[in-house]
Structure 1
Amino acid sequence: MAVGKLFIGRKVREIRQTNGATQGQFADMIGISTSYLNQIENNQRPVSAAVLLALAEKFGIDITALSSGQDDRLLSALSEALSDPLYETYSPSLQELKLVTQNAPGFAHALIASHQAYRRASEQIASFDDRLGGVAPVEPTPYEEVRDFFHFVDNYIHEIDMAAEALAGRISIGGGDNHAVLVSYLEREHGVRVARGEAADETLRRFDPKTKVLTLNRYAPAATRDFQLALVIAQLAAADGIAAVLRQAAFRTEEAQEICRIGLHNYFAGALILPYRLFLATARELRHDVELLGARFGASLEQVCHRLSTLQRPGLKGVPIFFARVDRAGNITKRHSAAKLQFARFGAACPLWNVHQAFETPGRIIRQMAETPDGVRYLCLATQVNKGAGGFRTTHPSYALAFGCEISYADAFVYADDLDLGNRAGYDPIGISCRICERTKCASRAVPPIKRKLVVDHTVRRAMPYDIV
């Protein structure tokens, strides 16, 4: 595989410092001169393929981890922030943005946080009425703070994932009837008795710490019941590890901390039901057929798709996958991307993305070959699912699940087998969000780009009532 120019000075410096080596010692270890290493660490020269191989061989470094991951997400977030008209006099090049995210990630995070505060304050001012006493703070909401925490750790929590996988191995999760295994473990190790709720009780899960009775909704799907069992196991068996992660995260408020605790409970539950190495091996075996994966592990499609997007363990990574859950109004209610495709932090998703079509074809997985404005191509997959449990008069929210990968990984997916991946005309032009999309001739554009000038010609009417300069 050809290696492009990689400016990864900060990461190389971190590897050297972790191993307690001076620049001279480290240069000798990987067979280069001290001056070359100094230039690499200051991003004055890219690393060569030989240096990458030396890092992999001598320090067990995953080469793919050096060229992707947090830098891509941080670069996307910074680029979106700087596209705001607030910075209309400054248009940084891609190389400038890369230098900031690679050399000064703390500064990039601070600028993004400042921009978020600016947007919230602007939205508050725009909605002012005569009740001035109800001004909202400009700090990030607890939900936003937790969302960003998971986003910038690549949605992979190593300590929690390893603990869940170890427990799954001890109690033989993934090899048969998970429900019986989980119920037996709770009773044997924690003295918890599992019962089914009353017919009129719509609560999904209720646990009484005093009586140690866990009551589950009697109408919930099997995959949902198993996940709730695993979540209670997370609360009882992984409390110390989760508390350590929360201390390190250092959230601003207790509310954010408790929201994140829910997320970490969910993370442990997913990692317990879908243990990392077994799930990764099975995904490769079944070529990422999400329906077969769900059947093999007794999991829902959403659980499977979400888990696929978390397979980012150093040295044992899966295919970089993006995943999102979208409601009928177009709101992205869950999002993560280990691929270059990053979801917009503000605004709706691109209307040309096939996720919106999933509601028209329930029960089917629809496919799309798509290309973003930066020329990167993707295999995009989407399907519609219903949530909830109960009968005719019960509300069943409907969502579309979107997942996929860069086209270079498409051969690992069964869904690409009969697609002509080499046909450039077969790719649909999509964007991230209309407000930051660079395409000038898109008839599906909802709003103009926020950092481009518009020209109106009253004598001509095209698909859009204006031209974008």
Structure 2
Amino acid sequence: MASRKLYAGVKLRETRTRLGLTQKDFAARLGISLPYLNQMENNNRPVSSTVLLALASEFGFDVTELSTGDAERLVSDMREALADPVFGDLAPPLADLRLAASNAPALARAFLELHRAYRQSHERLASLDEALGREDAALQPSPWEEVRDFFHYCDNYIDAVDRAAERFARNGTNPDDQERHAAETLESAGITLSKNDIPGLRHYDATRRILTLSSRLSGPTRRFQLLHQIALLTQSQLLEATLDLARFQSPEARDIARIGMANYFAGAALLPYGSFLEAAQEARHDLELLADRFGASIEQVAHRLSTLQRPGAKGLPFFFVRVDQAGTITKRHSATRLQFARFGGACPLWNVYRAFETPGRFLRQLAETPDGVRYLSLARDVTKPGGAWGAPVRRFAIGLGCEIRHADRLVYADDLDLTNAAGFEPIGISCRICERRNCHQRAVPPLERRLSVDPDRRGLLPYEVAE
């Protein structure tokens, strides 16, 4: 399959501005004409291989930054929004969506905000209790969705917070040393650390300056909660400055994002960027080896692998997802071309949903999405026991994967036949925007296609998806 041309005008223009160069000077350094550069910056021409080589050699630029997932995320999100029945047959072709995402990303995001506002207004009118007779019923995004989208479009990588966590960790990888350093940090700040059988995971009494961790916590969870509280106590200026830049629309969104930032710091300190990236490459991304080496959980390791997007020192582009037994996506991120649905669940043919059937085992899947991109996907259940008889057990499944072109760098691909096209299972994003016509697991019709219904004929479905 021919590779798609790279239109990255916005990224190219941002790069030039960051370097403080005029178009004339930038074109001269790249060895191209001024009109040619102007055409590329306005997405009238794709970025050529000559320009990519010049960016790398002249400026030491990581050319993979030009093809980050921003445009793919926007295209995926716009396709899902335009599948809403309110648009009817007005959905523009995919090529137009790609142009909008590449050339006018601010406009694309404004469209998504408008559709989200419409969707929430529709839901409030349907429930009435949120729409009638309430002074506080002003339309605004769900705080949870607003924070989710913030991390989504940051590529799930917050550079300043990540580097601060790495400095705090001192590149240490020994779990006991990490925990001792964290405890000493609290002690130097006049905070007492205790472990007791308390409800929940963690409680900080600001008046008495006592941090209490549940004595039931496993080692990885205990260290994570300890580092989370340290982030709130010692990194507040950094976290607040980052939150200021995000410009959330409600105090609730900012409060949720603050927790997300502290979680990010904890994960980055538990698995420091440089040492973790080096270890991941050395272990060929063996999750169990990495979890053992860093004293972390499988989920923490998988999630961290998907955040290794530091400019100039990127790890493999992974997608990461966590689902519950009802199929609800509770965590999601993708540095690959595969993008998750903003609303509802994912494709039921994906192996992450089969992980509940085989507890304690990794499942591998070779999968192909409707756009022809092939992936190696791992899935495993993650059980979070309550620590006592009668305490609730939380069960999730996680999925981690990358495009098949990176599979040789994963230990999980060693005995798989990656050349056999028949070995790749067809998966989609979600039924409502999936283009496959003959899927035996389709739950609802695709909103972008017309249906053909014949009462005298029944196949796998009571309708056929028209061409």
TM-score interval for Structure 1 and Structure 2 normalised by the shorter chain: over 0.9
Distance in 2 of aligned mates of 1:241 and 1:232: 14
1:28-177 → structure 2 map (5 Å cutoff): 28-128=28-128, 132-133=132-133, 137-169=138-170, 172-174=172-174, 177=177
On the 8 A contact 1:3/1:49 being kept in 2, the answer is no
**Alpha-carbon distance, 1:424 to partner:** 0.5
**Alpha-carbon distance, 1:86 to partner:** 2.3
Amino acid at match of 2:160: E
**Alpha-carbon distance, 1:102 to partner:** 1.4
Distance in 2 of aligned mates of 1:23 and 1:213: 57
**Alpha-carbon distance, 1:296 to partner:** 0.6
Residues 180 and 129 of structure 1: CA distance in aligned 2, closer, same or farther (over 3 Å): closer
**Alpha-carbon distance, 1:18 to partner:** 2.0
Q: Which residue of 2 aligns with 1:431?
A: 428
SS of aligned partner of 2:341: coil
**Alpha-carbon distance, 1:173 to partner:** 4.6
1:371 equivalent to 2:371? Answer no
Distance in 2 of aligned mates of 1:406 and 1:125: 42
Question: Over aligned residues, Cα RMSD in angstroms?
Answer: 1.8
**Alpha-carbon distance, 1:137 to partner:** 4.7
Residues 464 and 138 of structure 1: CA distance in aligned 2, closer, same or farther (over 3 Å): farther
Q: Which residue of 2 aligns with 1:416?
A: 413
Counterpart of 1:462 (choices 456, 459, 463) is: 459
Post-superposition CA distance 1:364-419 (Å, at most 9, x none): 01011111111111111110011243212110110001111111111111111111
Q: Which residue of 2 aligns with 1:452?
A: 449
On the 8 A contact 1:347/1:435 being kept in 2, the answer is no
SS of aligned partner of 2:354: helix
Report the identity percentage. 54
Distance in 2 of aligned mates of 1:337 and 1:84: 23
Amino acid at match of 2:143: P
Residues 175 and 281 of structure 1: CA distance in aligned 2, closer, same or farther (over 3 Å): farther
Residues 130 and 118 of structure 1: CA distance in aligned 2, closer, same or farther (over 3 Å): closer
1:313-332 → structure 2 map (5 Å cutoff): 313-332=310-329
Post-superposition CA distance 1:11-66 (Å, at most 9, x none): 11112222222221111111111111111111111111111111122222211111
Distance in 1 of aligned mates of 2:235 and 2:173: 17
1:334-413 → structure 2 map (5 Å cutoff): 334-413=331-410
SS of aligned partner of 1:312: coil
Deviates more, 1:228-237 or 1:128-137: 128-137
Distance in 2 of aligned mates of 1:112 and 1:396: 37
Counterpart of 2:437 (choices 426, 435, 440) is: 440
SS of aligned partner of 2:375: strand
Distance in 1 of aligned mates of 2:127 and 2:443: 22
On the 8 A contact 2:131/2:137 being kept in 1, the answer is no
On the 8 A contact 1:379/1:406 being kept in 2, the answer is yes
Distance in 2 of aligned mates of 1:131 and 1:407: 48
SS of aligned partner of 1:317: coil
Q: Which residue of 1 aligns with 2:200?
A: 203
**Alpha-carbon distance, 1:206 to partner:** 1.1
**Alpha-carbon distance, 1:179 to partner:** 2.3
**Alpha-carbon distance, 1:4 to partner:** 5.0
Deviates more, 1:50-59 or 1:303-312: 50-59
Runs of 5+ in structure 2 lacking a partner?
Answer: none
Distance in 1 of aligned mates of 2:87 and 2:130: 31
**Alpha-carbon distance, 1:237 to partner:** 1.7
On the 8 A contact 1:379/1:410 being kept in 2, the answer is yes
Residues 382 and 10 of structure 1: CA distance in aligned 2, closer, same or farther (over 3 Å): same
Post-superposition CA distance 1:311-337 (Å, at most 9, x none): 000011111111111000000011111
Runs of 5+ in structure 1 lacking a partner?
Answer: none
Distance in 1 of aligned mates of 2:183 and 2:130: 56
**Alpha-carbon distance, 1:276 to partner:** 0.3
- What TM-score results when the alignment is normalised by the length of structure 1? 0.95
On the 8 A contact 1:358/1:384 being kept in 2, the answer is yes
On the 8 A contact 2:75/2:98 being kept in 1, the answer is yes
- What TM-score results when the alignment is normalised by the length of structure 2? 0.95
Residues 422 and 209 of structure 1: CA distance in aligned 2, closer, same or farther (over 3 Å): same
Distance in 2 of aligned mates of 1:161 and 1:444: 41
SS of aligned partner of 2:194: strand
Distance in 2 of aligned mates of 1:227 and 1:390: 17
1:236-385 → structure 2 map (5 Å cutoff): 236-385=233-382
Amino acid at match of 2:123: E
SS of aligned partner of 1:161: helix
SS of aligned partner of 1:450: coil
Distance in 1 of aligned mates of 2:21 and 2:184: 50
On the 8 A contact 1:221/1:389 being kept in 2, the answer is no
**Alpha-carbon distance, 1:161 to partner:** 0.4
1:228 equivalent to 2:225? Answer yes
Residues 180 and 397 of structure 1: CA distance in aligned 2, closer, same or farther (over 3 Å): same
SS of aligned partner of 2:71: helix
